[in-house]
Chains A and B, each alone.
Chain A
Amino acid sequence: MIINSRFFNRSELIGFVSLAVLLFLILPLSLDIFRLNLVAKYLTYAFVGIGLVLCWGYGGILSLGQGVFFGLGGYCMAMFLKLEASSVANTKIQSTPGIPDFMDWNQLTAVPMFWKPFYSFPLTVLAIIIVPGIFAFIIGAAMFKRRVGGVYFAIITQAIAAILTILIVGQQGYTGGINGITDLRTLYGWDIRTDHAKFILYFVEVVLLFGCIIAAQFIRLTKLGRILVAMREQEDRVRFSGYSVANFKIFAFCAAAIFAAVGGAMFTLEVGFMSPSFVGIVPSIEMVIYTAVGGRMSIFGAVYGSLLVNFAKTMLSESFPQLWLFGLGGLFIAVVLAFPSGLSGIWADYVQPRIDRLLSSRKPKAAWTESSVADGAPAE
């Protein structure tokens, strides 16, 4: 394929390889399993971040409801694990054995119909992709076809996040309420709580993450990626070039939702529970800030942003809890006011030129076809 004659340009390739080395080698070799599991947890937000890069950075569609999709993915996975953990043998002491404990506490006597498919793992995996995808499609179609965008879209997605949280908390019998779905144990009989399992799950997640990175990079390099950028700048011009702008926005939003859902499902596996505190307004907007810190136009930036901000959060809120909110708030303001392209922008402006000078490439400037692909948009 011509457009993909260079899937990554040189600096992207460096970014890709160094991220692979970091995640596949350095971190697993240097961290104990507890810390590695923390990294795995942070990385689940990188899935959301990559989606936001496409949808917000490229398409200009700011969703403040990504927690909804993260949560949908997470709850699908959690329900599967919960049903497996609620075998009759494990739940003999309940008044209705064989159903999840929270259902029993809320006087349910049978698993409701809509949770039934989650007895099957293949159906669960399907649901993790399809449910958020369809949900995003409905929201997107309703809004974008009517030309709702910008801040209106942001606020409505935020309201949807609020609604879903209240609903989950309110419908304890079906969702586990405020505590969420907890006490998850095995996946097909394989205990996910052991160190060994955590180690393996980490690698599964990193492989999936690289899958998402490659998928996002692919989308970015196709004409669709350029149309997203074009749309962000001059929506009307895209429309009058013969494109249905709404369809492209729906695509970007659905893609972001599915990425987020995969992250959510992995979150459940890594952490062993899912709760409404990862669905609502606050987590959703925090996911946006991870992306902004990494650089809203940079796929790799989203990964580093998720890692660094969450790392800082853990460090600060362990030792100086009162400082954390000041730090996070300051970060929001600083990124927006002073560093709109985030860490990747700082890298591209200050670090990359130095490296280039050191390596001082003698290659002639690339021809236009190549450079217009490679430089199609600023990245790492």
Chain B
Amino acid sequence: MLIGHQPKEFLLAVSGLTVSFDGFKAVNDLSFYVEENEIRVIIGPNGAGKTTVLDLICGKTKATEGSIQFRGKELTKLKENEIVKTGVGRKFQTPSVFEDLSVFENLEISFPRGRSVFGSLTFQRDAKVKERVEEVAEMIFLKDKLSTYADELSHGQKQWLEIGMLLIQDPDLLMLDEPVAGMSVSERAKTAELLNRIIKNRSVLVIEHDMKFVEDIAHKVTVLHQGQILSEGTMEKVKNDPKVIEVYLGH
């Protein structure tokens, strides 16, 4: 497979990653590599460990074994907020936005400046911040909702807002956990359009069930099953892999 490559060519190099919850290995000796500007989709049945992989990369869960190299930095040793600063952004499976704050404030909090206690006390809402917030709001179809409180948004709009909060961080690696789940058909189409626009100039790791959506965007697909890689490659290759057909696409 990819054995011959030097790890530093990759943006993200996950190797031998294992996490065990009281003996249960949710992710088991997992290795995969993501290149610059690559769009990688992870698929797999429920409970395969997809969300856990993202949790491990962004530091929410600590790995039992293995390493995660991002631009040559070892992520398993960093705290969550430090991982964010190296350029990894993460969207959760259920939309998590700040419901008691307005759309503007939600985006502003994610603006990468003044992240220390002192910095946030002296943070100024200057022209640059406003410009960037408006720009991102435009992208996520929420331009005219800037002063709306996030709890008044629809489910789909919340998903977009959370994506917007990642965009404003301008991460090199964007990780999205089921971004179109629970969306209406028209919202889905808009989200695909949105994703196609924002994935330029960065690598993206997406978990998704919607096969049509996956075919549309994926450069490469990784199929996960019981914490291990079942198959990896182009959508075409994966689709025709008998093992995959058996455990996943078959039903």
Touch test A–B (CB under 8 Å)? yes
User: Interface on A for B, CB 8 Å cutoff?
Assistant: 1-3, 219, 222-224, 226-227, 229-230, 232-234, 236-245, 247-248, 251, 368-369, 371-373, 375-377
- The closest CB in chain A to the CB of B85 belongs to A242
| Cα(A97)–Cα(B50), bound, Å | 75
Q: Which one, B97, B99, B100, contacts A377 given CB within 8 A?
A: B100
Known A240-B80, A241-B110: A223·B123 in contact at CB below 8 Å: yes
Contact: A226 with B114, CB < 8 Å? no
Q: Please, which residues of chain B bring their CB within 8 A of the CB of A243?
A: 81, 115, 120
Task: List 11 additional A-B contacts (Cβ < 8 Å) besides A241-B165, A244-B79.
Answer: A226-B101, A227-B120, A237-B162, A240-B81, A241-B109, A242-B84, A248-B120, A251-B117, A368-B104, A372-B146, A372-B147
Measured in the bound complex, the distance between the Cα atoms of B90 and A248 in whole Å is 21
Check if B22 is an interface residue, CB within 8 A of chain A. no
In the complex, which residues of chain A have a beta carbon less than 8 angstroms from the beta carbon of B109? 223, 226-227, 230, 238, 241
Interface residues on B, range: 35 or more
Q: Is the pair B81, A226 in contact by a Cβ cutoff of 8 Å?
A: no
- Quick one: which of B81, B96, B123 has the most chain A CB within 10 A? B81
Dominant SS among interface residues on chain A:
helix
Which of B41-49, B124-132, B226-234 is the interface stretch?
B124-132
Q: Are B126 and A229 in contact (CB under 8 A)?
A: no
Question: Are B146 and A2 closer than 8 Å at their CB atoms?
Answer: no
From 76 to 126 in chain B, residues with beta carbon under 8 angstroms from any chain A beta carbon are 79-81, 84-85, 89-90, 92, 96-102, 104-106, 108-110, 112, 114-117, 120-126
Q: Does B18 contact A (CB under 8 A)?
A: no
A133 to chain B, nearest CB (A): 14
Pair B114/A236 contact, Cβ less than 8 Å: no
Contacts of A223 in B (CB 8 A): 108-109, 114, 120-121, 123
Contact (Cβ within 8 A) A247 B125: no
**A1 proximity list for chain B (CB < 8 A):** 124
Question: A36: shortest Cβ distance to chain B, in Å?
Answer: 36
* Residue pair A237, B92 in contact (C-beta under 8 Å): yes
B44-81, CB < 8 A from A: 58, 60, 79-81
Chain B residues closer than 8 Å to A234, beta-carbon distance: 96-98
Ordered by A's residue number, 16 sampled pairs between the chains whose C-beta atoms are within 8 Å are: A1-B124, A2-B126, A226-B101, A226-B108, A227-B120, A229-B98, A229-B101, A233-B98, A234-B97, A234-B98, A236-B60, A239-B80, A240-B89, A248-B117, A375-B102, A376-B101
Task: Return chain B residues, CB-CB under 8 Å to A239.
Answer: 80-81, 84
With both chains docked as a complex, state the minimum distance between the C-beta of B216 and any C-beta of chain A, in angstroms: 26
The residue of chain A having its C-beta at the shortest distance from the C-beta of B162 within the complex is A237
Residues on B with C-beta less than 8 A from A219 are: 121
Q: Which residues of B contact A371 (CB under 8 A)?
A: 147
State whether B84 touches A240 (Cβ < 8 A).
yes
Q: Which residues of B contact A245 (CB under 8 A)?
A: 81
Most chain A beta-carbon contacts within 10 A, residue among B84, B99, B105, B126:
B105
- Expressed in whole angstroms, the Cα–Cα distance for A240 and B115 within the complex equals 11
Chain A residue numbers with a CB within 8 Å of B98 are: 229-230, 233-234, 237
Q: Is B169 an interface residue (CB 8 A)?
A: yes
Neighbouring B residues of A227 by C-beta, 8 Å: 109, 120
- Would B125 and A3 count as touching, CB distance under 8 A? yes
- Choose among A242, A369, A375 the residue that contacts B169 (Cβ–Cβ < 8 A): A242
A378: shortest Cβ distance to chain B, in Å? 9
> Which A-chain residue is minimally distant from B146 (CB atoms)?
A368
CB pair A226 B105 closer than 8 Å: yes
Inter-chain CA distance A377–B98, complex, in Å, is: 12
Of B89, B100, B146, the residue contacting A229 (CB under 8 A) is B100
CB–CB A376/B117 < 8 A: no
Q: A223-B108, A369-B125, A369-B130 are in contact. Are A242 and B115 (CB under 8 A)?
A: yes
Residue from B84, B102, B122, B130 in contact with A241 in the complex, judged by beta carbons closer than 8 Å: B84
A226 to B111 CA separation, bound complex (whole angstroms): 13
Chain A residues in 8 Å Cβ range of B116: 244, 247
